[in-house]
Amino acid sequence: MNDPTLHAALDAFVTGPADPAAADAAATAAADALPDAIAALKAAGRRDHLELMGRPAFPKAVKKAAKKAAYQLKSAGVAASAPARPAGISLTAGAGLDDIVLVSAPGLAGRYWVLLAELPDALPVGVETAAWGGQARTTVLEKMSAGRLRQYRRDVQDEELPGKPIIASADLGLAMVGHIGDALRADSGAFPPGWSEVLFWCERARGRGADAARADAATLLADEPISDALAERTAELVDVMAIGPVVPDQAAIDALITQVIETTERDDELTRDELVDRLQGLADAGCDAYYGNAQAQARAARSLRASADVLLFGGDRDRARQCLWIAEQLDSGAVLPHEIGLLSGSFRRVIDYEHAWDHHQAHHAARAEGPAEG
């Protein structure tokens, strides 16, 4: 259908100011006219207009092409201005940026997860990474309002979920995307398809007043050093559901369990206390070996700093301090890993001491009986 009114709306958008309402009107133009509009906007260096063509009203293929063109202009040094604001509405810094992010603390395993709800000029997008490093995945959505985020949070608030998500501001969303970027660069350097959508959302959030510095626990708690008592109680973090899974990876678990079995089946008979002492020694040695390289230490430190941001935003200052303190120890190498309660606890809890004791007793009872008579 060749409606002159629709073409007029597209022409008005291409030649006029970068206005969201004008962009939505232009989205109704004939599909075959939109690629020419993208080419014209790119040639004119109108990056703001191209970014507005990423709004939900445009066809998916058009949004993709427009954002690609906008990214090319950005790479060429073409700056974007703050998004246009509807007349009669005053948006102060930070307005509309509360309660639009769903995020969980990555914990020692380093599993990052964040969902960024829609902004007036940016689609919602989620990012998640695998535990202990590995590939990341982004998911671009057509619709995810702040209200839907709150509903999802209500649905899971009574469940015993590790890394239980919390509702947060765009400030924390920006901070978490920064942490994810650092983790990806350190682990593989590979960013997932759709990462440009994440950066687009962040740029728009910053344009509306979001600031990651307002969610940076290391800066916010810099003048509040951790007490000795609190530093000595870092093992408490092992059972903090909000911080996510705090167990070593499967290879480390398997290696430790093999050593536990070998110890319970040794010829020397031990008391229960002696056996527990030996098994805890194995766990501590495994902890030091696991965190005995710079890569593992740096990964854990990054995850704990990110966890501190989430915990502080949720109001748990003491646990945020504990996370930051452990990260500092890992960065400095000031103490052995097993001397930090959280790290040693994450290994010691792998062992089932009662089962090990029963196995040890059964092994020696069988030896005492000797071989069965034929």
**Distance between CA atoms of 334 and 232, rounded to whole angstroms?**
15
- Residue 235: the pLDDT is 92
User: How many residues does the structure list for the chain?
Assistant: 374
- Residue 84: the pLDDT is 40
- Per-residue pLDDT at 63 exceeds 90: no
Task: Compute CA distances 287 → 215, 249, 284, 344, 347, whole Å.
Answer: 31, 11, 5, 6, 6
Highest mean predicted confidence (pLDDT) among 54-68, 228-242, 306-320: 306-320
- Residue 188: the pLDDT is 79
Contacts (Cβ under 8 Å, ≥6 apart) of 298: 186, 330, 331
Contacts (Cβ under 8 Å, ≥6 apart) of 285: 338
Contacts (Cβ under 8 Å, ≥6 apart) of 172: 101, 103, 215, 309, 310, 313
- Residue 105: the pLDDT is 92
- Per-residue pLDDT at 200 exceeds 60: yes
- Residue 371: the pLDDT is 61
Q: For 156-198, what is each residue's pLDDT tens digit? A: 666 655 667 899 999 999 999 999 999 999 987 789 999 999 9
Let me know: does 224 contact 321? Beta carbons within 8 Å: yes
Strand pairing class (113-116; 136-140):
unpaired
**Distance between CA atoms of 175 and 178, rounded to whole angstroms?**
5
Positive or negative CA dihedral for 358, 363, 369, 373? Answer: positive
For 343-355, what is the mean pLDDT? 94
- Residue 47: the pLDDT is 87
pLDDT-derived band at 87, boundaries 50, 70, 90: very low
Q: What one-character-per-residue DSSP string does 319-346 give?
A: HHHHHHHHHHHHHHT-S-GGGSHHHHHH
- Residue 1: the pLDDT is 42
**Distance between CA atoms of 139 and 227, rounded to whole angstroms?**
41
- Per-residue pLDDT at 93 exceeds 50: no
DSSP 8-class letter at 268: S
**Distance between CA atoms of 170 and 263, rounded to whole angstroms?**
51
Give me the percent of the chain exceeding a pLDDT of 70. 89
Contacts (Cβ under 8 Å, ≥6 apart) of 76: none
pLDDT-derived band at 53, boundaries 50, 70, 90: confident
For 96-113, what is the mean pLDDT? 90
- State how far Cα 327 lies from the chain centre: 17
Q: Which two tokens stand for residue 124?
A: 């919602």
Let me know: does 333 contact 143? Beta carbons within 8 Å: no
DSSP 8-class letter at 29: S
Q: For 119-136, what is each residue's pLDDT tens digit? A: 988 999 999 998 887 789
**Distance between CA atoms of 1 and 153, rounded to whole angstroms?**
44
The domain locations on the chain are 4-75, 101-215, 228-369
For 21-25, what is the mean pLDDT? 81
